[in-house]
C-alpha cells in the first residue's frame, strides 16, 4: 500500500506559475498518496500546453479536476463531497467542466458519468496525455472517458510543473504500476502492471531540478525497489529480454548510484519500499553515499505470519526481522517507518499481539496506521468476509497508535544533546519566528529563524523534543551548502 498523505493535507488545490499566453483556468485538487500529487504535476504540464493556467479560485475555473484515491473509503467519501461542491458551482457557471482523474476512475466511471451525471470526463492514471482530446470531446457535447491501462506509459518525456512548490523538495516518479498482488490493495487494478522509466530521463530531471535550486528529491513509485530498466517494457517480461538487455539493465541500487553521483549535494529520498523486494545492494548504496537519506519507509502491514500470508505479502515475520537487522547493522542511525493495517479478516487477538511484538522489536520512528476497510475489486473483498467487529478494530488500532507514540518519543529522545543537519523547508506551523525542516532520518526539526533562510542546510543542536518533533538551535551552516 502506498504511503498516504496526512488527512489534513489530503485535498490540496495546486497552483503553478502562470503562462502569459494561457487564457483558460484549471483548478486541480489531489487526494491520497504522493504519486497522485506527482501525477497532478504531469497533468498541469500537459494542460499548460493547451492554454490552461492553474487557479486557487474554484469559481473562476473553466476546468475542474480531482485526482482521486481508492486506497481507503474515507478518501472516496471526501472526493464525493468535493464533486457535490463542484457541481453547486457549476450551476452558477454552466460552462465549467468537471473531471475525475486517477485511481477511482476505472471503478466508478459508469456511476459518475452515466448514473449520477456528476462529471463530464473520467481519465485513468495512464491516459493523461489524452486529456486534450477528451476535453475536445466534452466541448463537443460527448462523453469523454479513457481508463485504459498502458504497458509502456511512464510520462518520462513530460517535464512536470512543480505545483505549490516550496522550491526546496520535489517528487521524481521512477516507476508506475505494481506487480505485488496484496489482497487488500487496489493499486494493481487501478494503475496496472509495473514498468520503469528510462534512468537517463530520471537523471536529467534531477539535474534540471538542481539547476532550478531544489535541494532534495524523492524518487517515487508504488514499489521503488522493483525498479528495473532494460530498454522499456513491463518488469514481468524481463525474463524474455535479450542477454545484452539483461547485462546492461539498471536496477534500483544502480539508479540510486547514478542519481547520488549526478548531484552530490542534493538529498535523495525514496518511497515506497516493499520488504520482499528490498535487497542488500540498496542498503549498501544508502550506507555508501552521504547524500542518500538514512530513512526507509518499509510497510509491514502485520506482524502475524498467518495474516501476512492472507495478505499475500510474500515475506515472513522472520524475513522482515532479518531485513531490519541488516539495515541497522549497515546504517545504525537509519530512520524506519511503517504502514500497519489492523483488523484484517480473521485477525485474532494472537495475531494482533504478534503485530505489537514486531513493533517492539523494530521500534519504528513513526508510522501510518489504519483499521482495515474493504476495498471493492480487491482479492480480499472477493474472498474474505470482513469479520472483525468495528469496536475491536478501533481498540486494536488505539493500542498500535499508543505503542507507536511511545517508540516515536524513545527515538526522538536519542537526539537530545546531538547536532543534526536540517534542510529548511518552510516556516513552522506553530511559530512565525521558527523554521521547520527535516533531518536525514525524516524527523521534523524546528529551530529559531535567525539569519537562515528556506533551502539552507543548517546544523541544529537538539535541546528538546516531542514524540514527533525535534526542537533545537542552529549552530551554523552545514558543509552541504
Choose the CATH number for 418-477 among 2.20.140.10, 3.20.20.240, 1.10.3720.10, 2.40.50.140: 2.40.50.140
Q: Name the binding residues.
A: 33, 69, 103, 178, 182, 185
Q: What is the pTM of this model?
A: 0.84
pLDDT for 69: 73
pLDDT for 72: 63
CATH class of the region 169-413: alpha beta
- What pLDDT, in 10s, does the model give residues 265-313? 999 999 999 999 999 999 999 999 999 999 999 999 999 999 999 999 9
Q: Which residue spans of the chain are classified as CATH 3.80.30.20?
A: 169-413
Q: Output helix, strand, coil percentages for the chain, rounded to the nearest 5.
A: 35, 25, 40
Q: Which residue spans of the chain are classified as CATH 3.40.50.12160?
A: 7-146
Q: What is the mean pLDDT of residues 130-152?
A: 87
**Cell numbers found for residue 389:** 467487529
- What pLDDT, in 10s, does the model give residues 162-189? 776 788 999 999 999 899 999 998 888 8
Q: Which residue spans of the chain are classified as CATH 2.40.50.140?
A: 418-477
Torsion angle of C-alpha atoms 3, 285, 355, 467, degrees rounded to 10: -70
Rounded to the nearest integer, the mean pLDDT of the chain is 90
Domain 7-146 has CATH 3.40.50.12160: yes
- What pLDDT, in 10s, does the model give residues 216-266? 999 999 899 999 999 998 999 999 999 999 999 999 999 999 999 999 999
Q: Name the binding residues for [4Fe-4S] cluster.
A: 33, 69, 103, 178, 182, 185
Give the whole-angstrom CA distance, residue 386 versus residue 361. Answer: 29
- What pLDDT, in 10s, does the model give residues 408-418? 999 999 999 99
pLDDT for 73: 66
Share of residues in the chain with pLDDT > 90 (%): 65
Give the whole-angstrom CA distance, residue 248 versus residue 236. Answer: 17
Amino acid at each position: 500500500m502506498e504511503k498516504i498523505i496526512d488527512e489534513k493535507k489530503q485535498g490540496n488545490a495546486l497552483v503553478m506559475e502562470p503562462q502569459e499566453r494561457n487564457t483558460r483556468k484549471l483548478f486541480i485538487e489531489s487526494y491520497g498518496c504522493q504519486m497522485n500529487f506527482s501525477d497532478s504535476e504531469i497533468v498541469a504540464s500537459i494542460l499548460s500546453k493547451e492554454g490552461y493556467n492553474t487557479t486557487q479560485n474554484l469559481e473562476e475555473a473553466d476546468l475542474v479536476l480531482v485526482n482521486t484515491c481508492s486506497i481507503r473509503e474515507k478518501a472516496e467519501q471526501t472526493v464525493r463531497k468535493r464533486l457535490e461542491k463542484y457541481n453547486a458551482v457549476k450551476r452558477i457557471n454552466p460552462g465549467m467542466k468537471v473531471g475525475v482523474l486517477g485511481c477511482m476512475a476505472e471503478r466508478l466511471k459508469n456511476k459518475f458519468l452515466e448514473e449520477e451525471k456528476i462529471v463530464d470526463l473520467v481519465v485513468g492514471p495512464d491516459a493523461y496525455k489524452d486529456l486534450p482530446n477528451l476535453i475536445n470531446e466534452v466541448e463537443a457535447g460527448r462523453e469523454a472517458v479513457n481508463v485504459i491501462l498502458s504497458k509502456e506509459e511512464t510520462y518520462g518525456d513530460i517535464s512536470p510543473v512543480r505545483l505549490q512548490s516550496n522550491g526546496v523538495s520535489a517528487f521524481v516518479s521512477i516507476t508506475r504500476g505494481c506487480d505485488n498482488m496484496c489482497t487488500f490493495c487496489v493499486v494493481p487494478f487501478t494503475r496496472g502492471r509495473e514498468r520503469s522509466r528510462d534512468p537517463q530521463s530520471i537523471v536529467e530531471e534531477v539535474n534540471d531540478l538542481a539547476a532550478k535550486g531544489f535541494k532534495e528529491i524523492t524518487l517515487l513509485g508504488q514499489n521503488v525497489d522493483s525498479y528495473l530498466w532494460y530498454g522499456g517494457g513491463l518488469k514481468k517480461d524481463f525474463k524474455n529480454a535479450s542477454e545484452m538487455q539483461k547485462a546492461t539493465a539498471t536496477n534500483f541500487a544502480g539508479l540510486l548510484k547514478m542519481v547520488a553521483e549526478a548531484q552530490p549535494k542534493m538529498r535523495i529520498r525514496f518511497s515506497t519500499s516493499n520488504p520482499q523486494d528490498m535487497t542488500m545492494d540498496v542498503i549498501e548504496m544508502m550506507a555508501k553515499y552521504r547524500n542518500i537519506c538514512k530513512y526507509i519507509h518499509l510497510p509491514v502491514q502485520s506482524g502475524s505470519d498467518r495474516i501476512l500470508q492472507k495478505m499475500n505479502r510474500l515475506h515472513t515475520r522472520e524475513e522482515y526481522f532479518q531485513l531490519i537487522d541488516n539495515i541497522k547493522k549497515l546504517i545504525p542511525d537509519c530512520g524506519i517507518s511503517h504502514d500497519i493495517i489492523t483488523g484484517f479478516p480473521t485477525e485474532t487477538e494472537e495475531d494482533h499481539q504478534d503485530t505489537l511484538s514486531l513493533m517492539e522489536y523494530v521500534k519504528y520512528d513513526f508510522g501510518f496506521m489504519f483499521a482495515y476497510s474493504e476495498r471493492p475489486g480487491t482479492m480480499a473483498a472477493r474472498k474474505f468476509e470482513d469479520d472483525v467487529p468495528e469496536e475491536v478494530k478501533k481498540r486494536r488500532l488505539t493500542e498500535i497508535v499508543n505503542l507507536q507514540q511511545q517508540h516515536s518519543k524513545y527515538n526522538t529522545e536519542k537526539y537530545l544533546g546531538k547536532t543534526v543537519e536540517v534542510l529548511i523547508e518552510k516556516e513552522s506551523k506553530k511559530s512565525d519566528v521558527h523554521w521547520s525542516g527535516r533531518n536525514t532520518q525524516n524527523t521534523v526539526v524546528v529551530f529559531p529563524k535567525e539569519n537562515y533562510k528556506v533551502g539552507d542546510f543548517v546544523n541544529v543542536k537538539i535541546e528538546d523534543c516531542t514524540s514527533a518533533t525535534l526542537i533545537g538551535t542552529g549552530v551554523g551552516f552545514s558543509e552541504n551548502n
